Amino acid sequence: MKQRVIGAFFVILYAVFMIVSPYKFYVSLVYLLGVGMISELSNFTGLKDSKTPIVVIFSILFFVGIYISHLSFLLPTAAIIFLFGYFIIIEGKVPNKFLAITGFFVYLLIGVIAIGKLSKDYFVLLLSIVWSVDTFAYLVGKYFGKRKLISEISPKKTVEGAIGGAIGGVVVSLIIGKYLGIFEISLLTAFSLFVLTIISQIGDLVESYIKRVFGVKDSGTIIPGHGGLLDRLDSSIAVAPFLVVFGGLQ
């Protein structure tokens, strides 16, 4: 428990630092998170020896996506081509489960770029959605959870917890969004936020699934009591692209 509290403190401190930082420094902080997550992905998928070139490819595509918006649509194709080209030309073989690794790499890349493109208000809204969903899902699941949501991927998640997380997430994010002046409270806004709370929980399951594919419990150990960066940011990288589309661009 003590480790979880310490880990949560550092997560909150980093988030606050991101919120108060000038935009270019904010982008740098997002980039560091992305590099950390890509490093974790390389480690638990058995590509530790190829980590450096994978991080280089991520870095190039990240800054292209951040600063050259009209090329953003090329990123998924470019990521697959660059990774495949590296393994064929340099290493002479394609790793096992290449499509699973590349698919998650692209998913992660787009999510991190989206976080980097968010305005500060929308970044706070992102945190309010993801953190409130996690908190309410945990509390409701712990005290009222009976029916397993999808035990093959995440044995601790329950249907009741998922419902509680969605409702709690909508209420909290409505209050935060209204306070920040992002939107007015309405049925359409509440429904849109409800969809995002579902996406947040699906993002959590996506990361749990990829870890199951490669037989690991946590993506890393960098955050005491919480695991890796991917374990904490799995929902954020799922929700952020939708917030960008909804108007949260810097």
CB 123 within 8 A of CB 148: no
DSSP annotation of 158: E
- Phi/psi for 145 (5° steps) reads -70, 130
State the Cα–Cα distance between residues 165 and 174, nearest whole angstrom: 14
What does the chain come to in residues? Answer: 250
Whole-model pTM over 0.75 = yes
Alpha carbons 99 and 113: distance in angstroms, whole number? 21
Whether the CB-CB separation of 174 and 188 falls below 8 Å is answered with: no
Q: What angle do CA 11, 38, 157 make, to 5 degrees?
A: 60
pLDDT tens track of the chain, all 250 residues? Answer: 677 788 788 899 999 999 999 999 999 999 999 999 999 999 999 999 999 999 999 999 999 999 988 888 899 999 999 999 999 999 999 998 999 999 999 999 999 999 999 999 999 999 999 999 999 999 999 999 889 988 888 888 999 999 999 999 999 999 999 999 998 899 999 999 999 999 999 999 999 999 999 999 888 888 877 788 999 999 999 999 999 998 755 5
Specify the DSSP class assigned to residue 181: T
Cα 14 to Cα 115: distance, rounded to the nearest angstrom = 14
Structure tokens at 17: 């630092």
Alpha-carbon distances, residue 214 vs 44, 46, 79 (angstroms):
7, 9, 21
Domain ranges in the chain are 2-245
71 Cβ contact list (under 8 Å, min separation 6): 64, 65
Please state, in angstroms and rounded to a whole number, the distance separating the CA atoms of residues 101 and 57.
Answer: 14
What angle do the packed helices 120-144 and 2-20 form, to 10 degrees? 160
